[in-house]
Structure 1
Amino acid sequence: MPIHIVLLVLFAALLHASWNALLRGGADRLWSMTVMCIAVAIASVIAAAFMPPPSSASWGYALLSALLHVGYNLFLVRSYRVGDLGQVYPISRGSSPVLITLGAAIFAGETIAPGTLFGIALVSGGIISLAFRGRKLSVPSLPYALGTGCFIAAYSVTDGIGARLSGAPLSYTVWMCALWGVLMPVVYIGLRDARSLFSVRPGMLTALAGGLVSLLAYGIVIYAMNAAPLGAVSALRETSVLFAALIGYLFLGEKLTTRRLLACAVIASGILIIG
């Protein structure tokens, strides 16, 4: 994989960990996530005005991905209600590279070199091991965390194929994100009401900023997926757990144990092999 793609995806991983930490630290995570999506929608519509539309062959993938992103949002918010960042994040992100590699092989016809597969396995295994407490994997929100990983895999493969068909990966990104950003507020209003969504609360500016950060991070990832195997890009993206572990330790009062440091070393080894 070209070194500039590796560095771009690692930067996206840092951005991704940052907005997840913002979400985990919020009092009303469904509201925070929806406000983030509003920011994504506004920024995407503005950006789309200056880009040519993606090929019509990719439109169905954009709509499907937007729906999958909404499902991902709901599962992620539910996971964080009873699980901490240091457990939910590694399970949801660590399970996805293997699923994406499998999905890319089935639906996109991708083949990956054995060395890269080994690197992906190291990254995924190291990430998931971060969720262990001692020798046990005790996560109250485990089904939702795993479900989140499945949604990540589904929308990543969908976007990987859609971006390649679009002829313009960045244009595809903003159109898909605009759809996602519009759908999520509709779901929120259906679950709650419009008044609570548009009320001014503490943390609104933070959530809006988080939305812009998430848009930039995912735009980088889709660009990378257009130039490199989906599974390898996903594995590099999920190294955001390294940044999440550090953010959780520094700002959210979560522990950074020797076991976690060793897991981070395994993940770093996988990164070197992939890169």
Structure 2
Amino acid sequence: MTGSVAGLVLLSAVLHVLWNTLVKTSGDKLSFAWLTNVLGMLFLGVPFAWLRMADPGFLGPEVLGWAAVSGVMQAFYVVLLFAAYDHADLSVVYPVCRGLAPLLVMLLAGRLTGDATGPLQAVGVALVAAGTAAVGAASRDKATGRLTWLGLALSVLTAFGTAGYSLADRRGMSLSPGPGAVEFLFVSYVVLCVLLTAYCAWRRPGLAGMFSQWKENRRGVLLVSALMTLSYVCIVAALGTGNVVLVTAGRNVGILLATLAGGLLLHERVSRGRAAGSVVIFAGLALLVLG
């Protein structure tokens, strides 16, 4: 991984943890999800229009197709992630969904993108699986002490969305001639927002429900929109030249940051098992990057 790609990955990870922490503290998750993504699309619309006039990238049918696939997978990811935060702590959801994603990417990357991995990464896979299991086992309801199966299941499913859009982004951004990162991301955001709007309209008929968080938490909506968009621009740019397995794994330095944020900022009970599992996941991801 080159220095420029590593820098983009690290910046994306920090921004990603910040906006996930804010999502966890938001009220109506469905309204918050819709507003932040629609505003993110609007934020991208200005540089997209400027780039199309000044220095356009290539947006042929294959590029648009992969951008659409990415948008579909992002919609799947957003719906599940925001729902997971309704049922489990940040220090559970984040390590599980981010830790499993690189494993899924590694299983498919060779065939779909041609990105190879080394033998040491098999050990990394085992560590990530063990760490994820430890975090999952530590995900317990405060009142009953029972496993929070729904939150855990949603977190696991969210990982499939992350893997899906990461692979689609890598395929689209590695085409030659190819698009610019902002242009590719804007197209995927359009698809994401169309699907998310349809889903929200089905679940929450009427505009009042969809805009509820704009009235209650306008500052949070604006901040998450900006952080989310910038985080994705960084990672899509990194995927233009970086190995998708290493990029997806490398950005998960955020797992440790999310565990700290859960304990220090959100006052979650981060048990020894949960903390140890996060460290093991991080160690496994480090092997994936270094191997």
Fold in common (TM above 0.5): yes
- For the 8 Å contact 2:256–2:279, the answer to whether it is kept is no
Larger mean Cα displacement after TM superposition, 20-29 or 183-192: 183-192
Q: Does 1:210 align with 2:238?
A: no
Provide structure 1 residue ranges, at least 5 long, that are not aligned to the other structure.
Answer: none
1:86–1:248 contact (8 Å) kept in structure 2: yes
What displacement does 1:27 show?
Answer: 1.4
Does the residue aligned with 2:117 lie in a helix, a strand or coil? coil
Name the counterpart of 2:72.
Answer: 67
CA contact (8 A) 1:249 1:255 kept: yes
Match of 1:245 in 2: 259
In 1, the alpha carbon distance for the partners of 2:146 and 2:47 equals 43
Cα distance in 2, alignment partners of residues 244 and 182 from structure 1: 30
Aligned partners of 1:126 and 1:263 also within 8 Å:
yes
Same amino acid, percent of matched pairs: 26
Q: Closer, same or farther in 2 for the Cα pair 1:49/1:215, shift >3 Å?
A: same
Aligned ranges 1:227-242 → 2 under 5 Å: 227-242=241-256
The correspondence for 1:174, drawn from 173, 180, 186, is 186
> Aligned in 2, Cα 1:98/1:169: closer, same or farther, shift over 3 Å?
farther
C-alpha contact 1:87 1:139 (8 A) present in aligned 2: no
Q: Flag the 1:253–1:204 CA change in 2: closer, same or farther, 3 A.
A: same
Question: Which blocks of at least 5 consecutive residues in structure 2 are unaligned?
Answer: none
- Matched residues in 2 for 1:58 and 1:162: separation? 5
> Does residue 139 in structure 1 map to residue 148 in structure 2?
yes
Normalising by structure 1, we get a TM-score of 0.88
Q: Distance between the aligned counterparts of 1:129 and 1:235, measured in 2?
A: 19
Counterpart-to-counterpart distance in 2, 1:91 and 1:98: 11
Q: Find the residue that maps to 2:86 and give its secondary structure.
A: helix
- 1:212–1:183 CA distance, 2 compared to 1 (3 A): farther
1:190 is matched with which residue? Answer: 202
Change (3 A) 1:77 1:134: closer
* 1:132-152 deviation per Cα after TM superposition (whole angstroms, max 9, x unaligned): 329999232232221111111
Aligned CA RMSD, in angstroms, stands at: 2.5
Question: Residue 42 of structure 1 corresponds to which residue in structure 2?
Answer: 42
Shift of 1:264: 4.7
Matched residue, 1:55 = 59
Instruction: Tell me the equivalent position of 1:219.
Output: 233
Change (3 A) 1:93 1:113: same
The aligned residue for residue 9 of structure 1 is: 9
- Shift of the 45–95 alpha-carbon distance from structure 1 to 2, 3 Å rule, reads same
**In 2, Cα distance between equivalents of 1:10 and 1:123:** 19
2:137 aligns to what SS in structure 1?
Answer: coil
Rounded Cα–Cα distance in structure 1 between residues aligned with 2:203 and 2:104: 30
Amino acid at match of 1:156: S
- Deviation digits for residues 58-104 of structure 1, max 9, x if unmatched? 10111121122111111112222221212122221211110011121
